[in-house]
Structure 1
Amino acid sequence: MQPSPPEKGVIWEELFFDLAFVFALTQFSRMLHGDHSWAGVGRVLLLFVTVYWAWAGTTIYTDQRNVDNALDRAGVFALGLGSLLLALMIPDAYGERGLLFAGVYLAMRVLLAALALGTPHGWRSPVLRAYGSGLVAGPLQLAGGLLHGTTRIVLWSIAVLVDVVGTTVTRRTLAQVRVRPLHYTHRYGLLIILVLGESVIQVGMVAVDEPLTVARLIAIIIGYALVCALWWAYFIYGVRTFRQAVQRTAEQADIRRSVMVYGHLLFSFAIIMIAVGLAEVVTDPIEPLGAGEASMLFGGAALFLTTFAQTHWQIHRQVAWRRISAGVLCLVLLPLAPLMPALAALAILLAVVAGVSVLEEIILHRHPAASRVRANEDEIGGDPGTADAGPVVGN
């Protein structure tokens, strides 16, 4: 196992690369807004995993390389262009632009492989061997782009499965890669910031074209508070624990795979679902939500909370009962949401999501030892403002 590379901060090139990814997020929200059915969610998820995997591959590459030379910098810019083109193809990916979508994805994976070949290890690069699944998934995507209908969906599903399962199959190779814990978790934290920001944009885009009634203004305020509650849950009770797990565990590859890659895939998609639900509430806050809209809002919150429980189990082997209970409560409330005004349903959801963090704070302050642990962690050199109660309060 190679030692962890020297730490570094997130670089400007990576932030520039993320700009194109933000555009892709807006396209996924648009697709979900247009089709709330299970089939619609499945089609969006299929595309989202593909784009997310390209982002994750770029993240591991920039973590392993000091992108301070013209070639690597140009490579990151080219990958950003690929993300922009993927985003442009998303609305009609199951139609006329399917082949273009698949072609751009394959080109991005080939470019990543070519950049990895430029590392000192060349063909033996653990990054290339571990994330080379894209060179298998890419041609499958391309074959699907040449076909239509169900056949395309089946081939693209297999391609996504190859990418997702590939990190498990190549577990031994991944174990040879040690990431920079602060940089790596910062990248995924920035991903969550981007998705949360897209939620705010969704609310604003809906509200700006509608009359600003009292009910709609209240819906905007509660919706923004819900986004803040999601931020609080992740950045106060999550991100520091994730960084410490990546930094301290001997099985770093397992934590990266289960908590960072898979976990943040679910975190991100859950927030996109919530954003779609928020847009529906702001559109008509007095009328009840439809079943599909309620599923987006309450189902997304349940997915977010239970993903927290899953990551907590992966790190600590402890059941996060409060997160699980809150997630189950969201599912229990889901069929009740269409029976009340959308504004009332949103307020109840905010109480559930924010209530978990409030409960964590109460428990934390009742245990002085927990407070001392968090204070000590803040002094050790973690991210400002991302203190985490982690293993003490049980997430």
Structure 2
Amino acid sequence: MNTADEAEDVRTERHASWAELFFDLVVVAGVAALAHVLGSEPDAAALGLYTLLFLAFWLSWTTFMLYSNVAAGKTRVVRLMIGMFGLGVMVASVPGVAHSVLGHDGDTHPTIVFAIAYIATRVYGSRSWRRGEVLLDFPVVQYSAGLLPWIASIWVDGRWTLVLWAVGIALDLLLILAVSGDKLLKQAQAALTTRAGTRHGARPEGKLPVIHGVSVDPAHFSERLGLFMIIVLGESVVQVIGAAAEAHYDVGVLATGLASFVLLAGMFGLSVVFGYAGLPHLRAGRIPARAALGLHCLVTGVVATVAVSLSSVMKHGSDPLPGQGRWLLCGAVATYFALGVITGVASHSSDMQRTISRIITGIVVPLLLGLLAHGIGGRTLVACMALVVLAHLWFERRMAPAEGGA
């Protein structure tokens, strides 16, 4: 085996460090805190705020996750710790932001604190890269254009705060979709050459500062995405347990807890055991890292939403869920399976028959329940969702030997 092969083996065998896992736990704590936003009867405003705050946590996590992925053994643990502190401030501000924005209590301090912590965390994370490095897979984490509306939001209040936050997040998402890392690298190299020539006259090319592109370590990248999904699912179980501990204990609570656990454990099976990088039905190396990261954001957000719905069912007992709560649970489960259909088709792991069955059982059935199950108790609804997930698990397990043989 030559030196290049040995280096590749070392790269493939790299795993997430303890510091990286510690960092992930703090971010997921922020995701769990978002339960304060949706409450028991979520409306459009609550769902919009929930989405904005989740994306803020996810983009902050992505910035540091990709830094440690590329830096590998040169990752500075102190830098991760400082990032964790900023995220901790964001987490602590979530309940206050929810009361300020949704409760209209007039106290703007929590929103200001959250905005400043988010800006500082993102800027600090974007400065983690070594001089001359351009991340080809996800260049948005190195740039701060999307933070300008967040900075402006510090001096406004009311609805304009959320509008500016939404504009900032939208700018980042647009950069994710539109900006090519290769194109950005060429522009940076051209700009550096022009600037150097203007300031110092003609230089020998070898003396110019070096700008080069870097890419993620695929094995470490997929592991971090998978671990993040596992932690989100674990935190979801904790939320359900916490809600059950506050409810009056009876057989119904026990049955709801069992169905909730089956639902979340089934998502673990589909996303981790029969999936890849925390994404259901995905296969290794089938889609670009940027696409996997974007889908990961959606899937983890949906799983976190399911956890909030399950906790709400625990509180409502056998009573039917309010219309918004019912649609939140059914819509989240349907979205999870819709994203699974997308990853299955994109990674060519699904034939036509399997795709159609996933659409009918995973998307159509939950949506019909959301539309028609007005008088069905929340506990029955959770049991139906658990049966849907179990059916998918059974099908995946049944098809796994055939795929292995192929």
TM-score (norm 1): 0.83
Contact 1:137 1:160 in 2 (8 A): yes
The alpha-carbon deviation at position 236 of structure 1 amounts to 2.0
Q: Deviations over 1:22-80 (max 9, x none)?
A: 220221122112551122111110111111001011111110002456xx110011111
Which of residues 78, 82, 88 is equivalent to 1:84?
A: 88
Equivalent AA in structure 2 for residue 323 of structure 1: R
140, 144, 148: which one pairs with 1:139?
A: 148
Return the offset for 1:328. 2.1
Paired position in structure 2 for 1:112: 125
Alignment partner of 2:388 out of 352, 365, 386: 352
Q: CA deviation at 1:157?
A: 0.9
Residue 16 of structure 1 pairs with residue 22 of structure 2: yes
2-structure distance, mates of 1:322, 1:244: 13
Q: Distance in 1 between matches of 2:396 and 2:16?
A: 30
CA distance in 2 between counterparts of 1:241 and 1:205 reads 25
1:239 is paired with a residue of what secondary structure?
coil
Letter in 2 for 1:169: A
Cα distance change, pair 112–192 in 1 and its aligned pair in 2 (3 A)? same
Q: Distance in 2 between matches of 1:148 and 1:282?
A: 35
Residue 90 of structure 1 deviates from its aligned partner by 1.7
Matches within 5 A, 1:368-387: 370-373=403-406
1:162-173 superposed matches below 5 A: 162-173=171-182
Single out whichever of 156-165 and 19-28 deviates more from structure 2.
19-28
Higher-Rg structure is 2
- Alignment gaps of 5+ in structure 2: 1-6, 102-107, 186-212
Asked whether the equivalents of residues 185 and 242 of structure 1 are also in contact (C-alpha less than 8 Å), the reply is: no
Mapped partners of 2:118, 2:255: distance in 1: 42
Q: 1:324: Cα distance to partner?
A: 2.2
Q: How many Å separate the matches in 2 of 1:133 and 1:308?
A: 30
Alpha-carbon RMSD: 2.7
Query: Quick one: which of 269, 282, 296 aligns to 2:328?
Result: 296
Provide closer, same or farther for how the CA distance between residues 348 and 288 of structure 1 changes in structure 2, counting only shifts above 3 A: same
Deviation at 1:240, TM superposition (A): 6.5
| Residue of structure 2 in register with 1:361 after alignment | 397
1:311 match = 343
Q: Is it true that 1:75 corresponds to 2:110 in the alignment?
A: no
Instruction: Say if 1:158 and 1:123 are closer, same or farther in 2 by CA, change over 3 A.
Output: farther
CA distance in 2, matches of 1:33, 1:241: 27
Task: Identify the range of structure 1 (130-139 vs 141-150) with the bigger mean alpha-carbon deviation.
Answer: 130-139
Indicate yes or no: 2:110 matched with 1:97.
yes
The answer as to 2:290 corresponding to 1:257 is yes
* Residue range with higher mean Cα deviation, 134-143 or 343-352: 134-143
- Residue by residue, what CA displacement relative to the aligned partner does 1:282-325 show, whole Å, maximum 9, x if unpaired? 22331111112112211110111111112223322966333322
Q: Which amino acid aligns with 1:99?
A: I
Structure 2 residue identity aligned to 1:105: Y
5 Å-filtered alignment, 1:40-55, equals 40-55=46-61
1:212 to 246, 249, 257: 249
User: Does 1:324 find its partner at 2:359?
Assistant: yes
C-alpha distance in 1 between matches for 2:399 and 2:148: 51
